[in-house]
Structures are given as structure tokens and as C-alpha cells.
Amino acid sequence: MKPARFYTDPVIRTTRFAFQRRGPKRLALRFSVSLLAGEWDTVEVRVDSVVIGTATREMFWEGVEYKLFDGSVLRMWLESPPGGHAFLNITRNGHPLPGSEGDPLHQVRAMVVMLWVFAAIEILAEAIVIIPTDRRDDDPAKLLTDYWVTAVAVIVVLLCILAWRRSVPALVFACILFAGQFFVYFALHPSFYLFWTGLFPMIGFLWLIQRAIRAAIDLKAMRLPIRRPLAKDPSVGVSSPV
């Protein structure tokens, strides 16, 4: 990131992507970030250190395309989830680049990390603050509820370990358990203020969940064709497929 000399000068933030997984990061996006507005307004697109174009934020909402030197087409566009910031999708010949927002593996692991962080905060809050307080109050019912909440958070952490390895059922169950806690809490503590303040974040979170589950299903479908071993044909003396 290139620092600004004055608060009115834009800050240049560079993000790099590879065209193939574990390949060299040949694509570089140089975002011009305005400190006053708090968001970027223009992007300079480079491939192998060669500038191939410049686009504004408004152009990215409509989608921009660049034809690369090898004849492939690079397409980029912004996607806005409900109640959240915009995602930048990048594809080459229709395939998302590794590490971009449209990459299925990136979507799954981003959701897993999010669940890990929230579950860890929940476990620490229950173990350090809530459960000791309930013990001092000597309320067995509340203490049992807190134990159940902690157990669910631990199960979510364990399921996310399997989801990190692209397990679709583990990701689905982890998301159901985690999101179900909030619905149970709202059902047991009805409040218009809690409902209104948590409505849009919950919609955005559910959108991210379905996005991650669809990405996990796509990853599961990406399998190499089964290659059968060759068996020798004694009459011919050469190998032939079984």
C-alpha cells in the first residue's frame, strides 16, 4: 500500500491474483482509495506489470471486460449482498480466479473462518463472564442453558474443521446450529428493538450461508474423471482398458 502525503491524497492499495491456483500472481489491481470517502473510486488493472485498463467504481457495477494477450477474457463486476459491503468478482473465460470473491474455495473458507471467530467469542464469553456469574447467582436452569450454548459452539468449531476440508454436510450443520441459536434467542426474548436491529445483519448472514453452501456443492462436483487401470490382453500382447 502506498501511503498518502496528505489526508486529501488518495491511498493506493494493490491486490494481486493468480490465474491458476498456486500459480504466479500475474493480475494486479491498484485501488485508489479516498481517505475522506473511505472507499475506492478508481482501479488500475495490470497484467504482468503492463497496464491494460482503468475503470471507475460505477463502471464496475455494470461490469468491465478486458481481452488479455493470450486471447482470454477477463471480466470484473461488483455484487452487493443484502445488508453488507460490495464483493468484487473476477473471472477469466467465465472461471473465477483463485482467491477472488467468486472463488468457491474462498467462499467456503471465509464462512468457516467467520464461524470459528463467532464461536470462539461465544465460548470465551460463556467461560469467562456468563457462567461464573450464573454460578454466583446459583440458578441451575440458567447454568444449564449456558452449558448447552457452550456445547453448541464447540460442536460448530469441530464441524468447521471438517468443512475446511470441503465437507458439505459439516458446513450445512455448522451453519444451521449457529444460525439456530439466534432464532431461538429471538423467540425466547421477543423484542421489537432486537428484531429490527438484527434483521438486516441476519439477512446478510443467511445470504452468506447459502452462498457458501452452494460453493461447497460446486467444489464437491469438481472431480477428475475416473481413469480405469490398463489390463494386459494375452492374445494381443498389449495393454487394453478394462
- Residues 202-230: pLDDT tens digits? 788 888 888 888 888 888 776 544 445 55
Contact assessment for residue 112 and residue 160, using Cβ atoms and an 8 Å cutoff = yes
- Range with the lowest mean pLDDT among 47-56, 92-101, 186-195? 186-195
Q: Sign of the CA dihedral 116, 118, 119, 121?
A: positive
Average pLDDT of 177-197?
75
Candidates 129, 115, 106; CA nearest to 21 is 106
Contact assessment for residue 239 and residue 232, using Cβ atoms and an 8 Å cutoff = yes
pTM: 0.70
Rounded Cα distance, 167 and 104, in Å: 13
Rounded Cα distance, 79 and 232, in Å: 55
pLDDT at position 242: 43
pLDDT at position 133: 61
pLDDT at position 29: 93
Q: Which residues sit opposite 44 in a β-bridge?
A: 30, 54
Per-residue model confidence as pLDDT tens digits over 20-42: 888 899 999 999 887 665 678 88
The pLDDT of residue 239 is above 50? no
The pLDDT of residue 87 is above 70? yes
Rounded Cα distance, 231 and 216, in Å: 36
Rounded Cα distance, 162 and 175, in Å: 13
pLDDT at position 134: 54
Rounded Cα distance, 176 and 111, in Å: 13
Rounded Cα distance, 126 and 155, in Å: 15
